[in-house]
């Protein structure tokens, strides 16, 4: 059996867990640069606030109801996610994390599976303060679906204990995991509007008329597992780009941002054991500011051999920035592109590259130190220390679990 | 190739004591908090002391606990009073009777004094 564990309103619940006075109050979490709402507590949903609403639209209403607004505190969310993962590993024979707030658990068929799910739910809630719900089913698609139903019930739902077809008959096809907006339209054109209609779609027709993904989903709805572990495929390209909190004019500040984004992209690339064949840099002004002169430019370099060595990549990126920088503009964004990624072993094709083992050892050490003592413990001088340009996070909560200065106080 | 005499201590090595494993039995459910105020001086917890807080432990009578009460975290001693009624006690603060408005969320197995 598969248990799908999903944290309820994860980001908002993390914030509430450390601020008891916010329990039962509307809480929302904003996107990078405090733009729009990306997560909200059930109390915020209940007063009609939606994902994607802008902060200024809702701030008065939230304040009036005694709620709170937060910037995304990824440090806190990642730590809480980690704790939940460790609890799951302790309690389940096999765990497959799916995202920061969702995991699949695999159990052999046992009678007491629903009771076990309740124990898992209670343990996570007790040990982290984060509420979760659990869907139980023989396949991943059904377990995700069961979880959505569980949120409306007691928080745990086993498809084998309900009249599944009845539940599926009112479940819209577009809410099934793996069915996107376009695919839902395609299915509706074939007369399939509910999960039950898709489940009962004859397999031989499914094979003929649907994509392979659709065919798998039909089988999963019928309790036949088809979707294996979802290992993210190594990415071919990595792009690191974020708007600045304010428009930036000086070359020095752009250099800091370039180096910083470059290292962020390199870290992602190194985690998937890749090296880049091309590095690109682009700068742009804010195209919505029609009152200001507009500028966009980009440049890319071939890397032979492909490289994952941060000092080299940052040097190239800064060189590129110098080539495309034009004074007198107000810049809104720098983008770093690491392209045509290859497996890091492919770097060794170049014979004469004696430096490679040293570079590898240095980067491994760099990554380890930053992992252990926090990102930005070691950094490249160009990244700068002040970062006046960095993301706007005016409502950032303390890092309650990862910084000694930020731990909660009790009376 | 082996050289020299074997160490006389061979076979007697044991792992050095490790503070993390001594004081943090379950890392996934352990948090740090800071005491603020004098309510627990009677059990040796002073202002600004660090509290090692384990959310997986169940309170027993006389446990030092963290509870949510009136929208705040409080640190108190869990006491069994007359007639078997449980309450949370501290020095110079009124006792909190256990009811549905009080939630014990964790036990404090250890605290750490700052001498600087």
Which alpha helices (DSSP H) does chain B contain, by range? 19-23
Statement: residue A135 has pLDDT above 50: yes
Q: What is the mean pLDDT of residues A316-328?
A: 92
Residue of chain A nearest B70, judged by CA positions: A21
Statement: residue A232 has pLDDT above 60: no
Instruction: Provide the CATH number for the domain formed by B26-112 in this structure.
Output: 2.10.109.10
pLDDT at A201: 92
Question: If you count them, how many residues does chain A have?
Answer: 411
Peptide linkage before A305 cis (omega within 30 of 0):
yes
Residues with Cβ < 8 Å from A83, sequence gap 6 or more? A127, A128, B28, B29
Which class for A299: exposed (0-12), middle (13-18), buried (19 or more C-beta within 10 A)?
middle
Nearest to A135, CA basis, from A127, A144, A125, A126? A144
In chain B, where are the structural domains located? 26-112
Inter-chain CB proximity B34 and A20 less than 8 Å = no
Residue A389 binned pLDDT confidence (cut-offs 50, 70, 90): low
Stretch among A110-124, A234-248, A359-373 having the lowest mean pLDDT: A359-373
Return the structure tokens found at A189: 């054109």
Q: Closest Cα of chain B to A16: distance in Å?
A: 11
Rounded-to-integer distance, Cα A262 and Cα A256, Å: 10
Residue B116 forms contact with A (CB below 8 Å) = no
For chain B, what is the radius of gyration of the CA atoms? Answer: 20
pLDDT at A387: 63
Q: Closest Cα of chain B to A339: distance in Å?
A: 38
Beta bridge partners of residue A30, listed in sequence order: A37, A71
Statement: residue A302 has pLDDT above 50: yes
- Residue of A86, A90, A409 with shortest CB distance to B34: A409
- Residue of B37, B50, B56 with shortest CB distance to A126: B56
Q: What is the pLDDT of residues A14-49, one digit of tens each?
A: 999 999 999 999 999 998 778 889 999 999 999 999
Rounded-to-integer distance, Cα A215 and Cα A179, Å: 12
Q: What is the mean pLDDT of residues A373-400?
A: 72
Look-up of token digits 């995202």: A99
Q: In chain B, what residues touch A119 (CB-CB under 8 Å)?
A: none
Nearest to A198, CA basis, from A175, A230, A182, A181? A175
Q: Quick one: angle between helices A212-221 and A181-189, nearest 10?
A: 80
Rounded-to-integer distance, Cα A258 and Cα A264, Å: 10
Residue B96 forms contact with A (CB below 8 Å) = no
Stretch among A35-39, A336-340, A352-356 having the lowest mean pLDDT: A352-356
Q: Quick one: angle between helices A356-373 and A251-271, nearest 10?
A: 100
Residue of chain B nearest A66, judged by CA positions: B71
The better pLDDT of the pair A245, A190 is held by A190
In chain A, where are the structural domains located? 2-76, 94-104+112-221, 238-383
Residue B34 forms contact with A (CB below 8 Å) = yes
Rounded-to-integer distance, Cα A251 and Cα A352, Å: 35
Compute, in degrees rounded to 10, the torsion defined by CA atoms A78, A82, A83, A85: 140
Beta bridge partners of residue B32, listed in sequence order: B52
Look-up of token digits 């045509």: A340
Instruction: Provide the CATH number for the domain formed by A238-383 in this structure.
Output: 3.30.1490.100
pLDDT at A210: 84
Cβ(A274)–Cβ(A234) below 8 Å: yes
Residue of chain A nearest B56, judged by CA positions: A127
Residue A400 forms contact with B (CB below 8 Å) = yes
Neighbouring C-beta atoms of residue A328, cutoff 10 Å: 7
pLDDT at A31: 85
Statement: residue A351 has pLDDT above 50: no
Which alpha helices (DSSP H) does A277-381 contain, by range? 310-324, 356-373
pLDDT at A288: 81
Q: What is the pLDDT of residues A47-78, one digit of tens each?
A: 999 988 888 888 899 999 999 999 999 889 98
Number of Cβ pairs < 8 A linking chain A and chain B: 65
ipTM of the complex: 0.88
- Give the start-end residues of each E strand in A10-131: 27-30, 37-40, 68-71, 94-99, 102-106
Statement: residue A249 has pLDDT above 50: yes
Instruction: Provide the CATH number for the domain formed by A2-76 in this structure.
Output: 3.40.1170.60
Q: Closest Cα of chain A to B59: distance in Å?
A: 13
Inter-chain CB proximity A410 and B31 less than 8 Å = no
Grouping H, G, I as helix, E, B as strand and the rest as coil, residue A153 is coil
Residues with Cβ < 8 Å from A161, sequence gap 6 or more? A114
Peptide linkage before A398 cis (omega within 30 of 0):
no
Residue A352 binned pLDDT confidence (cut-offs 50, 70, 90): very low
Instruction: Count H helices and E strands in chain A, helices first.
Output: 14, 14
Q: What is the pLDDT of residues B73-114, one digit of tens each?
A: 999 999 998 888 899 999 999 999 999 999 999 999 999 998
Return the structure tokens found at B111: 């605290």
Neighbouring C-beta atoms of residue A306, cutoff 10 Å: 22
Inter-chain CB proximity A86 and B71 less than 8 Å = no
Residue A372 forms contact with B (CB below 8 Å) = no
CATH architecture, domain defined by A94-104+112-221: Orthogonal Bundle (1.10)
At A114, give phi and psi (nearest 5°).
-70, -40
pLDDT at A403: 87
pTM: 0.74
Stretch among A130-144, A161-175, A234-248, A293-307 having the lowest mean pLDDT: A234-248
Which alpha helices (DSSP H) does A281-394 contain, by range? 310-324, 356-373
Beta bridge partners of residue A300, listed in sequence order: A280
Q: Closest Cα of chain A to B41: distance in Å?
A: 12
Neighbouring C-beta atoms of residue A116, cutoff 10 Å: 20
Residue B71 forms contact with A (CB below 8 Å) = yes
Inter-chain CB proximity B73 and A407 less than 8 Å = no
Inter-chain CB proximity B31 and A407 less than 8 Å = yes
Q: In chain A, what residues touch B37 (CB-CB under 8 Å)?
A: 411
Q: In chain B, what residues touch A123 (CB-CB under 8 Å)?
A: 56
């Amino acid at each position: 059996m598969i248990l799908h564990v999903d944290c309820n309103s994860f980001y908002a619940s993390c914030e509430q867990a450390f601020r008891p006075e916010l329990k039962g109050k509307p809480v929302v979490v904003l996107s990078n640069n405090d733009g729009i709402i990306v997560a909200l507590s059930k109390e915020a949903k209940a007063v009609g606030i939606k994902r994607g609403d802008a902060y200024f639209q809702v701030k008065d209403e939230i304040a009036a109801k005694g709620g709170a607004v937060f910037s995304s505190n990824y440090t806190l969310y990642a730590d809480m996610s980690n704790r939940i993962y460790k609890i799951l590993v302790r309690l389940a024979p096999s765990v497959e994390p799916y995202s920061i707030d969702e995991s699949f658990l695999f159990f052999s068929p046992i009678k007491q599976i629903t009771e076990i799910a309740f124990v898992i739910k209670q343990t996570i809630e007790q040990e982290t303060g984060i509420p979760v719900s659990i869907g139980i089913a023989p396949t991943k698609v059904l377990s995700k679906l069961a979880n959505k139903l569980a949120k409306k019930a007691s928080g745990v739902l086993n498809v084998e204990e309900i009249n599944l077809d009845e539940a599926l008959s009112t479940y819209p096809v577009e809410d099934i995991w793996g069915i996107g907006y376009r695919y839902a339209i395609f299915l509706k054109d074939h007369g399939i509007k509910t999960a039950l209609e898709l489940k009962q779609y004859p397999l031989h027709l499914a094979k003929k008329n649907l994509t392979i993904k659709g065919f798998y989903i039909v089988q999963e709805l019928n309790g036949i597992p088809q979707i294996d572990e979802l290992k993210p495929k190594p990415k071919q390209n990595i792009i690191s780009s974020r708007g600045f909190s304010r428009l930036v004019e000086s070359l020095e500040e752009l250099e800091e941002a370039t180096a910083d984004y470059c290292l962020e992209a390199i870290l992602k690339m190194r985690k998937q054991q890749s090296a880049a064949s091309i590095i690109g840099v682009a700068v742009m002004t804010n195209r919505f500011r029609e009152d200001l002169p507009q500028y966009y430019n980009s440049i890319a370099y071939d890397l032979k051999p492909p490289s994952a060595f941060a000092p080299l990549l940052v040097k190239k990126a800064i060189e590129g920035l110098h080539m495309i920088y034009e004074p007198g503009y107000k810049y809104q964004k720098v983008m770093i592109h690491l392209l045509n990624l290859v497996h890091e072993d492919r770097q060794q094709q170049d014979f004469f590259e004696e430096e490679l083992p040293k570079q590898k050892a240095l980067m491994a050490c760099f990554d380890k130190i930053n992992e252990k003592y926090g990102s930005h413990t070691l950094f490249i001088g160009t990244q700068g220390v002040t970062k006046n340009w960095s993301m706007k996070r005016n409502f950032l909560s303390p890092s309650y679990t990862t910084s000694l200065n930020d731990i909660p106080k009790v009376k | 190739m082996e050289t020299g005499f074997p160490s006389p201590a061979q076979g007697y090595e044991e792992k050095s004591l490790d503070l993390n494993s001594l004081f943090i039995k379950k890392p996934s459910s352990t948090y740090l908090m800071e005491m603020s105020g004098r309510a627990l001086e009677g059990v040796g917890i002073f202002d600004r002391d660090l509290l090692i807080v384990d959310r997986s432990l169940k309170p027993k009578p006389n446990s030092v606990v963290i509870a949510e009460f009136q929208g705040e975290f409080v640190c108190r001693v869990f006491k069994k009073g007359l007639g078997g009624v449980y309450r949370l006690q501290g020095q110079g603060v009124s006792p909190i009777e256990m009811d549905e408005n009080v939630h014990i969320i964790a036990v404090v197995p250890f605290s750490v004094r700052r001498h600087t």
